[in-house]
Amino acid sequence: MDEPVKMKKRVDQGKLNIIAIFYKVCARDIKKQTCEFGENFW
């Protein structure tokens, strides 16, 4: 489990951007999300 820790450190340093990929999720289900989740994607 060292990889997620290393990834988090690099994100905090501004050296890495992570993009979540969701399978079998319709765009219409995501577009209307609010709060922190929705703000990060739209």
Per annotation, catalytic residue among 1, 2, 3, 19: 3
Tally Cβ neighbours within 10 Å of residue 30: 13
Q: Are the beta carbons of 16 and 10 closer than 8 angstroms? A: yes
User: Would you call 3 a catalytic residue per the annotation?
Assistant: yes
Residue 41: φ, ψ to 5°: -105, -25
Active site residues: 3
